[in-house]
Chain A
Amino acid sequence: MKSRPGFVLEVDKSTPPILVWHGEGFKVQKMPVDSRIIYPKEPISALEDPDTAVRQALENPLGDTKPLSELLFPSMKLTIAFDDVSLPLPPMEAPDNRQRVIEAVLNLAAEKHVEDVVLIAALALHRRMTDAELKHCLGERIYNSFAPNGLLLQHDAEDPDNLTYLGKTEKGEDVEINKRAAESDLIVYININLVAMDGGHKSVATGLSSYRSIRHHHNVATMQHSRSFMDQSNSELHSSNWRIGRFLANEGVKVFQIETTLNTDTFPKQFSFLQKREWEWTFKDRLSFSSVSKALELTPGNLKTSIFNSIKAPHRLTSVQAGEVEAVHRVTTENVYHQQIVQVDGQSDILSLGLPYISPYNVNSIMNPILVACLGLGYFFNLYKGKPIVKKGGVVIMSHPTPLAFHPVHHPSYIDFFDQVLSETTDPMEIQTNYEEKFATDPWYRHLYRTSNAYHGVHPFYMWYWCAHALDYLGRVIIVGGNHQAVKRLGFASATTFNDALEIAQDVVGSSPSITHFHVPPIAIAEVS
């Protein structure tokens, strides 16, 4: 399959209405003439023999490190850490990259007869994964060999007995990571690098650390100075993680990093129209679009959520890199950019987004208003390199129903954050100063995080901090078709239709604004000149 590059379309009178995501559903919408639409690159072709590629990567590592098989010895402590349920999006069809790579690593370990092996899901402050989720991402064989023996762990950032404090970086950042990982002879970390933000030193420095450590880079000041998260050289978030990562290396924590990239084949065949360019929609595409949207209209909310949660993406492995963290990550980032970069010429006044049903934090869950804000302003707004797509003081128009709904098990602290914090203020700095600590240390959230499947008490704050750069930068945020009460609480403007939103935006950007619609997902990164 030859993949055509992404491009920017200038809308003219002949441009058909384009597909816009709207939470658990989508619509077609006519864009104003002279506005621009950024189309992502089509999925690049996958590796033909992924298993061999994985084996080769393990034997030919990048950077200053020996092949994995030479790093293994029978009496060693080996810890295999892997990304949690927040990657990839949507969850991929089995076999997951993690299963493929970890099986290869375990086969090597079994050959060397390594007796002490532990698997750790690198949760950071995310919710614990369910057994079904673990089984899906690791496969039955790994799950059955480790879970019943208590060797499949989920990192617990609130377990003082299982954390090791290693000291401070030169900038005073506390470094505290999982004790087992710190005491291992080797940590093998398996990444899925869905976007350029993932991986690198962030894997261990964030994934296996505690609130005490994470708060040094997950805060308003850092987020506001990350322009953007997708561009490491300009991301304060990454600088901090790199410092911590190098500190760990100096302390003798040995990491063998394995990073994998995926193509952007995001939706199953039945939904292929979701990643096709509208003027190429065949009769079959049009038929499935209208029947699917009609069916979704008639489906009650809960069922709709579970239908969408059951979608597994046909992502395919496009590259695998193993070895020393920084060398690996350099190549990986290039590979991610190779799939995702789209050249965009100049900024515009208005950025229009259609937000889908999924974000990293509501896999198998409910997308609550805070996550809507985070997906739009934290993730999609930041999918840029160079300059933001929208001008400073510009407007972002996002399309999402923003229901006033929360998953009570996964997001308990979000409910209280929405009720008790956002009702008082939406200013990230004020929120950080006045409320963060109380939530971060609340024993009930800690209990739910450690024993149930709840995100950490401080997690909603981080979601809001993700938005800090955008909130600081933008003149106005408008949500189309959202629940008014929820949108108002978020501090955004609410519009019924896209055209109403444009009217509202004109107060800020004048009467003839330039408009850019970012046609994601599938994911793309706009390199704006």
Chain B
Amino acid sequence: MPTSKTYKIETYESKANSIKFAIRILRQKFKNKAKLSGFILDRPTYPVSIVQPDVESKLGVNYDTSWSRKPLVRAVRSIVRESVARPFFAAVAAPQVIGLESLTLNNPPYIFTANHASHLDTGLLLTTLPYEIRRNTVAAAAADYFFDTRFKAILAAGILNAIPLERTKVNRSSAKLAQDLVEMGWNLVIFPEGGRTPDGWGQPFKGGAAYLSIRTGVPIVPVYIHNTRALLKKGSKKLTTGATKVVFGNPIYADEKEDARKYAVRIENEVASLKNEIGKDYYSSILNKHSATTPLLQSDIKSKWLRSWLSEEANSSNKKEVLKWPKL
């Protein structure tokens, strides 16, 4: 007979928490046993009469990523990228890469600007670039998200070669770092939307990438990444497999007297045009582009269900094969 205990519905979260809890207890036990606590091993405490100085945060925008561009780290990252990350993305996302030949038109460096729908985007883009470019690429990552703890910062900088970028306000040091790196010849991957899409529709492109391109004279390569939201969307913890596409456009430059804001809009339209290319042919997408009838990345539909219902993701079929009853 069931007892009261069975009323409890165990959730994924509580399981994760209990594991964390167990680890904490074990650590405590272990620490006590091995006498690994106390001064010498632990940090000394301040006497009360002495004022403890404030510690300046070394995380977020202030995180120093220079170690991650040292030759040894680059070599290790290169091995990880080529032997783990590329096969992983090939297996999970099966990317079809379109338009890479446009990168032969110019010499590096480039600033890659892409739409952003998933955590997979950065990795997918970094692994689909040609070798010569991907080994020399840094990715701009949200300082408040990827660099808020030491652990995440090390992972982001170490594996993705990410640099922290403030997304809510202009921060001189982070913009300066990106500019310096681009001028030194590093390629940069940046998502001008400033975050992943909540519903499948695009968000307005911010001017950061455009500004960098104007300041450094480095061309922008618009990129459209298709269908990653279906594999791992914002707020989801479950990764599914499926087919994705990465479409590269031709490098573009800012016109003379074009300011960052206008330039950003133009970049957005370029990405929209690349999106239009999927499912259509190249020519009709160009026709759309020149008659300014390219469907936009953003949508002004207010109704939430209509936004979702009419979004690209809803209409693409990403049906998984359902495990059927075994044949007898």
> Touching in the complex, A and B, CB below 8 A?
yes
Instruction: List residues of chain A with CB under 8 Å of any chain B CB.
Output: 94, 106, 110, 113-117, 140-141, 144-146, 148-149, 151, 268-270, 288, 291-292, 310-312, 404, 406, 408-409, 412, 415, 448, 452
Judged by a CB distance under 8 angstroms, whether B314 is at the interface is: yes
Q: Shortest beta-carbon distance, A473 to chain B, in Å?
A: 32
Chain A contacts of B1 at CB under 8 A? 404, 406, 415
The complex places the Cα of A299 from the Cα of B313 at a distance, in Å, of 42
Stretch of B74-82, B109-117, B319-327 that contacts chain A: B319-327
Quick one: which of B8-34 are within 8 Å of A by CB?
Answer: 9
Q: Shortest beta-carbon distance, A174 to chain B, in Å?
A: 32
Chain A contacts of B49 at CB under 8 A? none
Say yes or no: A415 contacts B305, CB within 8 Å: no
Instruction: List residues of chain B with CB under 8 Å of any chain A CB.
Output: 1-2, 6-7, 9, 199, 235, 302-306, 308-310, 313-315, 318-319, 322, 324-328
Q: Shortest beta-carbon distance, A291 to chain B, in Å?
A: 7
Say yes or no: A408 contacts B7, CB within 8 Å: yes
Chain A contacts of B314 at CB under 8 A? 141, 144-145
Say yes or no: B2 contacts A146, CB within 8 Å: no
The complex places the Cα of A477 from the Cα of B324 at a distance, in Å, of 38
Q: Shortest beta-carbon distance, A86 to chain B, in Å?
A: 21
11 CB contacts below 8 A, A to B, read A94-B322, A113-B303, A114-B303, A115-B303, A144-B314, A145-B305, A145-B314, A268-B325, A269-B327, A312-B325, A415-B1
Query: Taking each of A145, A269, A312, which has the highest tally of chain B beta carbons within 10 Å of its own beta carbon?
Result: A145
Say yes or no: B325 contacts A145, CB within 8 Å: no
Query: Pick the contact of B309 from A110, A269, A408 — CB < 8 Å?
Result: A110
Are A144 and B326 also in contact (CB < 8 A) when A406-B2, A409-B7 are? no
Nearest neighbor of A267 in chain B, beta-carbon distance: B325
Chain A contacts of B306 at CB under 8 A? 110, 113-115, 117
Nearest neighbor of A149 in chain B, beta-carbon distance: B304
Q: Shortest beta-carbon distance, A317 to chain B, in Å?
A: 19
Q: Shortest beta-carbon distance, B75 to chain A, in Å?
A: 42
Chain B contacts of A110 at CB under 8 A? 306, 309-310
Say yes or no: B305 contacts A292, CB within 8 Å: no
Say yes or no: A145 contacts B308, CB within 8 Å: yes
The complex places the Cα of A151 from the Cα of B306 at a distance, in Å, of 11
Chain B contacts of A140 at CB under 8 A? 318-319
Query: Taking each of B235, B308, B313, B324, which has the highest tally of chain A beta carbons within 10 Å of its own beta carbon?
Result: B308
The complex places the Cα of A409 from the Cα of B9 at a distance, in Å, of 8
Are A149 and B2 also in contact (CB < 8 A) when A144-B313, A270-B327 are? no
Q: Shortest beta-carbon distance, A9 to chain B, in Å?
A: 27
Chain B contacts of A292 at CB under 8 A? 328
Q: Shortest beta-carbon distance, B229 to chain A, in Å?
A: 10
Nearest neighbor of A412 in chain B, beta-carbon distance: B7
Nearest neighbor of A113 in chain B, beta-carbon distance: B306
Are A144 and B328 also in contact (CB < 8 A) when A408-B7, A409-B7 are? no
Chain A contacts of B309 at CB under 8 A? 106, 110, 141, 145
The complex places the Cα of A370 from the Cα of B2 at a distance, in Å, of 16
Say yes or no: A310 contacts B325, CB within 8 Å: yes
Chain A contacts of B318 at CB under 8 A? 140
Say yes or no: B9 contacts A452, CB within 8 Å: yes
Chain B contacts of A312 at CB under 8 A? 325
Q: Shortest beta-carbon distance, B301 to chain A, in Å?
A: 8
Chain B contacts of A452 at CB under 8 A? 9
